[in-house]
Structure 1
Amino acid sequence: MKKTVQVAALATTLAVSGTALLAQDSCDWKPERAVTYVVPWGAGGGTDANSRMMATLLEQAWGVPFNVVNRTGGNGVTGHSAISRAEPDGYTVGAVTVEINTMHWVGLTDMTWEDITPIALIDIVPASVLVGKDSPFTSVTELLDHARANPGDLTASGTSLGGIWHLALAGMLNAEGMAPDAIRWIPSQGAAPALQELVAGGVDVASPALSEGKTLVESGEVRALAYMHDAPMSALPDVPLTAEALDSGWTLAAYISVSGPDEMPENIVCSYEKAIAEVVASDEWAEFKASRGAEVVDMGAADLAAYMEQQDAALGEVIQAVGLAK
Structure 2
Amino acid sequence: MAILTRRHLLAGSGLAAGGLLAVPAIAQGRYPNRPIQMVVPWGAGGGTDATARIVATLLEKDLGQPVNVVNRTGGSGVVGHSAIATAQPDGYTIGMITVEITMMHWQGLTQLNPTSYTPLALMNSDPPGVQVKNDSPYADIKALADAIKAQPAGTFKASGTGQGGIWHLALVGWLQAMGLKGDHVRWVPSNGAAPAMQELAAGGVDIVTCSVPEARAMLDAGRAKSLAIMAPERNPQFPNVPTLNETLGINYSVGAWRGIAGPKNLPDSVTSVLVPAIKRTFDNNEFKQFMNQRGFGMIYADPQGFAQFMAAGDRAMGEAMRGAGLARG
TM bucket, shorter chain: 0.7 to 0.9
CA drift of 1:44 comes to 2.7
Matching of residues 51-90 of structure 1 within 5 Å: 51-90=52-91
> Which runs of structure 2 are paired with 1:128-147 in the superposition (5 Å)?
128-133=129-134, 137-141=138-142, 143-144=144-145, 147=148
Shift of 1:39: 0.9
1:37·1:68 contact (CA, 8 Å) conserved in 2?
yes
Preserved CA contact (<8 Å) 1:227 1:240: yes
**RCO higher in structure (CA 8 A, sep ≥6):** 1
Q: Which residue of structure 2 lines up, in the alignment, with residue 240 of structure 1?
A: 242
Alpha-carbon offset, residue 96 of structure 1? 1.4
How high is the sequence identity, in percent, across the aligned residues? 40
Classify the secondary structure of the residue corresponding to 2:38: strand
The code of the aligned residue for 1:41 comes to P
Aligned partner letter, 1:273: V
Q: Which residue identity does 1:34 align to in structure 2?
A: R
**Root-mean-square deviation (CA), in Å?**
3.5
**Structure 1 CA distance, aligned partners of 2:72 and 2:221?**
36
- The separation in 2 between residues aligned to 1:132 and 1:78, in whole angstroms, is 30
CA distance in structure 1 between the aligned counterparts of 2:69 and 2:223, rounded to whole angstroms: 36
Contact 2:169 2:321 in 1 (8 A): yes
How far, CA to CA, are the matches of 1:186 and 1:71 in structure 2? 20
The amino acid across from 1:130 in the alignment is: Q
Aligned CA distance change for structure 1 residues 161 and 33 (closer, same or farther; 3 Å) = same
Residue ranges of structure 1 left out of the alignment (5+ in a row): 1-28
What is the correspondence of 1:1-326 to structure 2 with a 5 Å cutoff?
A: 31-34=31-34, 36-41=36-41, 44-46=44-46, 47-133=48-134, 137-141=138-142, 143-144=144-145, 147-148=148-149, 152=153, 155-159=156-160, 160-187=162-189, 190-192=192-194, 194-195=196-197, 198-199=200-201, 203-218=205-220, 221-242=223-244, 249-265=251-267, 268-269=270-271, 271-290=273-292, 292-326=294-328
Supply the AA of the counterpart residue of 1:37: Q
**Most deviating of 250-259 and 86-95:** 86-95
Distance 1:164 1:183 in 2: 15
Amino acid at match of 1:162: G
* Offset from partner CA, 1:45-65 (integer Å, 9 cap, x none): 333333233223222212234
C-alpha distance 54-131 of structure 1, shift in aligned 2 (>3 A): closer
CA-to-aligned-CA distance 1:220-250 (integer Å, 9 cap, x gap): 5544221123443333122123466666632
Residue 121 of structure 2 contacts residue 301 of structure 2 at CA under 8 Å; is this kept in 1? yes
Higher helix proportion: 2
Check the 8 A contact 2:190/2:196 in 1, yes or no: yes
**Superimposed CA distance per residue, residues 266-315 of structure 1 (whole angstroms, 9 cap, x where no aligned partner):** 67545433221211221222343345443444333233223322332333
Tell me the secondary structure at the aligned position of residue 174 of structure 2.
Answer: helix
SS at match of 2:156: strand
Higher Rg: 2
Query: 2:40 touches 2:71 (CA, 8 Å); kept in 1?
Result: yes
Retained in 2: the 8 A contact 1:234–1:295? no
TM-score (norm 2): 0.73
Displacement of 1:37 after TM fit? 2.8
| Structure 2 unaligned regions, length at least 5 | 1-28
Q: Which amino acid aligns with 1:79?
A: G
Distance 1:200 1:83 in 2: 33
Secondary structure class of the residue paired with 2:237: coil
Question: How many angstroms apart in 2 are the aligned matches of 1:324 and 1:80?
Answer: 20
CA distance in structure 2 between the partners assigned to 1:67 and 1:218 by the alignment: 28
